């Protein structure tokens, strides 16, 4: 009798513990989350919105690089021009110094000739 | 990867979603939580798909992870102060009533009062029809422990049923 009771009871347990049908949305949610997880890890799975964002980042980065290159070129050009200006200024000063020296020599010779004539 | 078995994730979800969801539902008693656990279990399978060697291995792996994650979820819920099986979905019982006896519903509710380890063993024994050896392999527990949990769980369940389920006592 005891075994019959246990068998009957176990049969009831077995019947009451049949597998339940899963929610209809379970598989869809699993596949969606799987896709999202893969998109985070693999760039080839990125969404159109993420791709568009990345393209904009690339454009901004390229613009910044171009601006940097153009700025560097302008600064280099300015430095060259400034150096040329400095060189020209030095040449003018040198010419003035030579001229001044020639005048001084000529002035000294004139003064010496004046003394000799007296 | 052993043999020629090529895992097809979508097919594995199709084949095992009922099993994984039912295990989580019986362990937690909460359809929403069971669905979350089932999703997490399949996503974990996806991450570990390369380590799965066969269809049987996938089934064993899913059972183990579903039970383990259900136990973790219950512990987190207890830590937050929620009562066990506090939010049983009414529609779950209603659907069961259409198919099974009232006794079946009560047995399922009584099952929820068992300690987690005993409940897991009973669910694997009677829902999944596993032998004690297979349950031991699934839970990673010694065979003697599993046999003891099954005996104690059944004894406790029967004692609760005898004292609470008048319908069952009248029937026998």
State pLDDT tens for residues B18-76: 999 999 999 998 999 999 999 999 999 999 999 999 999 999 999 999 999 999 999 88
In this structure, are B50 and B2 located in the same domain?
yes
Domain span holding position B21:
1-88
In this structure, are B79 and B113 located in the same domain?
no
Q: What is the mean pLDDT of chain B?
A: 84
Contacts of A82 (CB under 8 A, 6+ apart): none
pLDDT digits (tens, 9 = 90+) for A7-59: 788 888 998 899 999 999 999 999 999 998 888 776 665 667 777 888 899 99
Q: Is B113 inside any structural domain?
A: yes
- B35 with A27: Cβ contact below 8 A: no
Q: Is B95 inside any structural domain?
A: no
Q: Is B94 inside any structural domain?
A: no
| Contacts with B154 from chain A: Cβ below 8 Å | 6, 9-10
Helices (H), B29-142: 31-47, 55-80, 90-99, 102-111, 116-126, 132-139
In this structure, are B167 and B106 located in the same domain?
yes
Gap from B104 CA to chain A (nearest CA, Å): 4
In this structure, are B26 and B72 located in the same domain?
yes
Task: State the complex-level ipTM.
Answer: 0.76
User: Within 10 A of B8 (CB to CB), how many other CB atoms are there?
Assistant: 12
Q: What is the CATH number of the domain that holds B53?
A: 1.10.1740.10
| Chain center to CA of B94 | 20
pLDDT at residue B126 in the model: 94
Residue that is written with structure tokens 């049969």 in the block: A11
Whether residue A9 lies within 8 A of chain B, CB to CB, comes out as yes
pTM, 2 dp? 0.65
- A30 with B126: Cβ contact below 8 A: no
In this structure, are B111 and B65 located in the same domain?
no
Please give the C-alpha separations between residue B20 and each of A70, A90, B66, B111, B127, in angstroms, as whole numbers. Answer: 62, 90, 6, 18, 11
Confidence band for B90, pLDDT divided at 50, 70 and 90: very low
Q: Is B123 inside any structural domain?
A: yes
Gap from B80 CA to chain A (nearest CA, Å): 26
In this structure, are B76 and B52 located in the same domain?
yes
């Amino acid at each position: 009798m005891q075994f019959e009771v246990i068998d009957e009871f176990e049969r009831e347990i077995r019947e009451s513990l049949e597998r339940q049908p899963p929610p209809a949305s379970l598989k869809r949610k699993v596949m969606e989350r799987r896709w999202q997880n893969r998109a985070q890890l693999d760039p080839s799975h990125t969404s159109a919105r993420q791709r568009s964002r990345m393209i904009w980042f690339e454009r901004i980065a390229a613009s910044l690089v171009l601006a940097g290159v153009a700025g560097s070129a302008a600064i280099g050009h300015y430095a060259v021009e400034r150096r040329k200006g400095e060189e020209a200024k030095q040449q003018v000063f040198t010419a003035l110094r030579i001229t001044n020296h020639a005048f001084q020599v000529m002035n000294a010779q004139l003064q010496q000739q004046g003394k000799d004539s007296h | 990867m052993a043999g020629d078995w090529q895992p097809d994730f979508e097919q594995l979800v199709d084949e095992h979603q009922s099993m994984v969801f039912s295990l989580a539902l019986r362990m937690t008693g909460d359809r929403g939580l069971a669905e979350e656990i089932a999703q997490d279990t399949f996503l974990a399978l996806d991450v570990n798909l390369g380590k799965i060697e066969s269809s049987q291995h996938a089934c064993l792996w899913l059972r183990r992870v579903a039970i383990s994650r259900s136990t973790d979820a219950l512990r987190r819920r207890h830590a937050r102060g929620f009562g066990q099986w506090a939010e049983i979905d009414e529609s779950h019982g209603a659907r069961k009533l259409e198919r099974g006896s009232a006794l079946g519903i009560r047995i399922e509710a009584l099952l929820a009062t068992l300690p987690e380890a005993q409940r897991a063993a009973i669910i694997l024994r009677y829902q999944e029809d596993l032998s004690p050896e297979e349950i031991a392999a699934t839970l990673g527990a010694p065979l003697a422990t599993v046999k003891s949990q099954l005996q104690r769980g059944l004894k406790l369940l029967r004692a609760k049923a005898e004292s609470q389920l008048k319908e069952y006592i009248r029937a026998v």
